[in-house]
Amino acid sequence: MGVRVIMRKAGQLYTKSRIPGVDYTVNQYVGCQFGCRYCYARFLTRWKDYGPWGSWVEVKENAPELARRHVKGNIAMSTVSDPYQPLEAELKLTRAVLRFMDKRNNLSILTKSPLVTRDIDILKEFMDVEAGLTLNTFSGREKRLFEPLTPLQRTRINALQRLHEEGLRTYAFISPIIPGITDVIAIIEETRGFADRYFFEVLNLKASGKNFREILRENYPESYNILTDDEKFAGFIGRLKEEIRKSQVKTNRIETHRLSSSDYGYDH
């Protein structure tokens, strides 16, 4: 299926952030060809009437020029797109943005694509930079249902290792964690030799949308039940935290996206 590409000129590239520890976010693309069916960023379709999530990408064609603006602080790339989605191989927009960014800022990049290794030369110019790959062990049926268009996990792991071998600071972003599906410890054991730190994120069930919740409930009812039952969820998180503690890896936090099932209005 083709993707609709919308070229536009943006007024700014650096957006002030409310994310803890992040001063600015950078999204040279809005929308994502990977179109992961659980992605929280699909909320953008409420305001951008281009079609279903994953069927369009908005390109800020003047992003390299905007990247020259001087800002100071911690910058995250990206939050409502993947900076190395397939379109980037052709447009090289992310590479151009990186080239013109102030190399004195702290930059953190997150992607699902091994294409990030293409830009190792520019990343090395930054005084403080880290690159992360999203990992989740989805394969076979789970991958077809959840994120059919993303690069295979093996290629992401290989990319993480390559970044580390090139002397860049790396992190593994283990997400989304779904009970009974995402094998967190397997990822840790496979990457602990070249991931400098880890972030853990449990599936944001509310933000994943009604369609994905139905996919999960129909195909993986036990996983859905754990995510929507407060007592079972608390037990799951307790076991997960203990497993991570025993693994002795460096991590900042485990994001659970949890209030209570009644707050979210889940159906059991």
pLDDT in tens, 84-118: 999 999 999 999 999 999 999 999 999 999 999 99
Tokens linked to 257? 């996206």
Domain 4-264, CATH 3.80.30.30 — does that match?
Answer: yes
> How do the domains of the chain map onto residue ranges?
4-264
pLDDT at res. 259: 62
Mean pLDDT of all residues belonging to the chain: 94
Torsion of Cα atoms, 245 then 247 then 252 then 253, to 10°:
-60
Say which residues have a Cβ less than 8 Å from residue 112's Cβ, sequence separation at least 6: 34, 82, 84, 133, 134, 147, 150, 151, 156
Span 197-213, mean pLDDT? 96
Q: What is the pLDDT of residues 140-150, one digit of tens each?
A: 999 999 999 99
pTM: 0.94
| pLDDT tens profile 229-265 | 999 999 999 999 999 999 999 998 899 997 644 443 4
User: Which residues are bridge partners to 134 per DSSP?
Assistant: 173
User: Is the pLDDT reported for residue 79 higher than 70?
Assistant: yes
